[in-house]
Amino acid sequence: MIVSSYTEDFNKLSLGARRQEEEVEKVARHLNGLRKGIQDEITMFAPNSMHKCFQMALRVEDKDRRRNESYQRVKGNNNR
């Protein structure tokens, strides 16, 4: 799932929850729902707010996308 879609769904569900959570609890739950590779990179920096967590996740997702595109280009050139 794309980070922005996941975060949007997460926020909607959080708003509907009857229980108020501390920001660090919310960040931990949000991180737990992200792809493992994104989780691994973000947890190194221990984000303490949802905003920071979301921004970091977007950056990691973008980096992964660029890496995959580059790999596909190289792979395509090697098959010629």
Give how many domains the chain has, as a whole number: 1
Read off the pTM.
0.80
DSSP 19: S
Nearest to 29 by CA among 16, 5, 56, 11: 11
Residues 9-62 have pLDDT tens digits of 999 999 888 788 899 999 999 999 999 999 999 999 999 999 999 999 999 999
Which range of residues forms the domain containing residue 48?
Answer: 3-78
Provide the token pair at 54: 């979301």
Say whether 7 sits in a helix, a strand or coil: helix
Read off the amino acid at residue 58: L
Closest CA to 5 of 34, 46, 45, 42: 34
Q: What tokens appear for 64 in the block?
A: 């992964």
Residue 2, CB-side half-sphere exposure with 13 Å CA sphere: 5
